[in-house]
Amino acid sequence: MGKLFCIMLFMIIGIASLSGVYSAGQCPNSTPDMEVLKLIPCASAAQDSNAAVSKSCCTQVKILGQNPECLCAVMLSNTAKSSGVKPEIAITIPKRCNLADRPVGFKCGAYILP
């Protein structure tokens, strides 16, 4: 499993470095494709709605959730999608983390955060 994680990490970093386009204000001082690296602990939870959501994932989602536009852009980013993230499942993570201050009802592309 360690090798798979390392391969996935290098793949994400490579894709993110190729994207190089900064989104206007969604994620200050970064791009959604770079911010997705912070959500690596959420990989399985973003692919399977029955997977447990780790504490480290919830911590990162809470931080990114302070800026709902950034969180949304990260979950819908090309890097996230190419890494196997399913947006319809990823948007459920803040609720699955039981974050009281999550951005409920925030429109995230074709999805609404529960």
Among 106, 86, 77, residue whose Cα is nearest residue 15: 77
The model's pTM: 0.74
Top-ranked range on mean pLDDT: pick from 16-30, 80-94, 100-114: 80-94
Q: d(Cα 8, Cα 15) in Å, to the nearest integer?
A: 11
DSSP letter for 40, please. Answer: G
Q: What is the pLDDT of residues 5-56, one digit of tens each?
A: 444 444 444 444 334 343 446 888 889 988 999 999 999 999 999 999 999 9
Residue 4 has pLDDT above 60, yes or no: no
